[in-house]
């Protein structure tokens, strides 16, 4: 810019013609002072060249200003876009972490949600119907003629882990297995669970398990010494291991007697005694035990969780 101004001023000075007095003064000054250089008169070519330079610089200045304006416009656009993207990201993050509250129409109380009430009613009715069928089957078994085979047997099935008995019974319940028919559950060895059932129910249980591809171990012997996995028995002979396995099996049978329901406890104890799994003293104590007996011969452990009459009342109130 300074260069343009300087050129403009120089051009203005050069473009003005010198007066006669000025030329005479200049001539006299040159005569008085011979060292002063004579002033050369600019030609028309020099003036035209300077004017062309000024025009070129002005054009470049205008171009630079236009480019600068365009650059500023692009910078402002980028800043606005960045601000919008940042605000959108913040809004999405807040919406994901803090979702909006449901509207008044959506947040209905449970007792006014018709679909939810119908679902609860349907579920309760299905459970009630399942419980009634179970009690009817138990009543029908009581009215059947006496079975010729009054013994019991253990059904051995594989398992991946040793879970609590209650959890295992829940698993059997999900498979639609009547838990009231499973008199005892124990773990004779690793990855094997034993289910004590009546002989008449054993084929039905095995057939039901096969529907879910559950293989029954028919050749398992709880008194075989090979099932002992404790490292402390590795040095024992085969006879000693068999004797120890039988001893542990008898201990399991004694504990099982204490958890079997009273209506079938005597029959199971007699079966264990005939098999030689419990001694006569344990069998006699089982016969003479006077525990709390349920008034209903069709009593099921699951009935303690929910009373049928209360169940009907709850449904009627809904």
Residue 281 lies in a domain: yes
**pLDDT surpassing 60 at residue 116:** yes
Nearest to 188 by CA among 237, 232, 247, 235: 247
20 part of a folded domain: no
Cα gap 178→169, rounded to integer Å: 9
Residue 153's nearest CA partner among 294, 272, 69 is: 272
Contact between 117 and 317 under an 8 Å Cβ cutoff? The reply is no
Q: Let me know if residue 179 belongs to a domain.
A: yes
Q: Is residue 61 part of a domain?
A: no
Spell out the alpha helix ranges (H) of the chain.
Answer: 2-15, 20-32, 44-97, 114-142, 165-174, 202-211, 238-257, 262-275, 280-288, 308-317
Residue 71 inside a domain? The answer is no
- Within 10 A of 65 (CB to CB), how many other CB atoms are there? 10
pLDDT at position 3, please? Answer: 55
Q: Is the pLDDT higher at 90 or at 80?
A: 80
* Calpha distance 57→269 (Å, rounded): 118
Residue span of the structural domain in which 159 resides: 117-317
What average pLDDT does the segment 67-74 reach?
Answer: 92
Average pLDDT over residues 143-168: 86
Would residue 164 count as lying in a domain? yes
Domain tally for the chain? Answer: 1
With respect to residue 101, please indicate whether it lies within any of the assigned structural domains: no
- What average pLDDT score do residues 90-102 get? 69
pTM attached to this predicted model: 0.52
* 67, two tokens: 């480019």
pLDDT at site 194: 96
Q: Which two tokens stand for residue 274?
A: 């005939």
pLDDT tens-digit series, residues 291-305: 445 444 444 444 444
Residue 183 buriedness (CB in 10 A; 0-12 / 13-18 / 19+): buried
Q: Rounded CA gap, 15 and 56, in Å?
A: 19
Q: What is the mean pLDDT of the chain?
A: 78
Contacts of 94 (CB under 8 A, 6+ apart): none
Confidence of residue 214 (pLDDT cuts 50, 70, 90): very high
- 135 is a domain residue: yes
């Amino acid at each position: 810019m300074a260069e343009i101004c300087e050129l403009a001023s120089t051009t203005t000075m050069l473009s003005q013609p010198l007066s006669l007095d000025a030329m005479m003064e200049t001539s006299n000054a040159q005569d008085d002072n011979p060292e002063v250089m004579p002033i050369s008169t600019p030609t028309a070519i020099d003036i035209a060249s300077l004017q062309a330079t000024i025009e070129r610089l002005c054009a470049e200045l205008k171009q630079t200003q236009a480019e600068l304006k365009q650059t500023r416009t692009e910078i402002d656009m980028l800043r606005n876009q960045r601000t919008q993207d940042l605000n959108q990201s913040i809004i999405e993050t807040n919406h994901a972490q803090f979702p909006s509250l449901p509207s008044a129409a959506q947040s209905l109380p449970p007792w006014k949600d018709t679909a939810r009430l119908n679902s609860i009613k349907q579920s309760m009715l299905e459970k009630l119907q399942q419980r009634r069928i179970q009690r009817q089957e138990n009543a029908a078994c009581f009215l059947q003629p006496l079975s010729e085979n009054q013994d019991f047997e253990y059904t051995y099935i594989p398992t991946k882990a040793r879970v609590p008995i209650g959890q295992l019974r829940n698993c059997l319940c999900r498979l639609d297995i009547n838990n009231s028919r499973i008199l005892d559950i124990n773990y004779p060895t690793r990855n094997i669970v034993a289910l004590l059932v009546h002989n008449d129910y054993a084929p039905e249980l095995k057939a039901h398990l096969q529907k879910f591809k559950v293989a029954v171990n028919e050749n398992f012997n709880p008194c075989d010494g090979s099932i002992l996995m404790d490292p402390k028995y590795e040095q024992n002979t085969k006879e000693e291991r068999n004797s120890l396995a039988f001893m542990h099996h008898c201990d399991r049978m004694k504990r099982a007697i204490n958890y079997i329901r009273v209506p079938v406890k005597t029959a199971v104890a007699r079966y264990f005694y005939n098999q030689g799994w419990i001694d006569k003293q344990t069998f006699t104590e089982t016969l003479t035990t006077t525990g709390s007996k349920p008034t209903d011969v069709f009593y099921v452990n699951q009935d303690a969780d929910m009373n049928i009459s209360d169940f009907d009342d709850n449904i009627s109130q809904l």
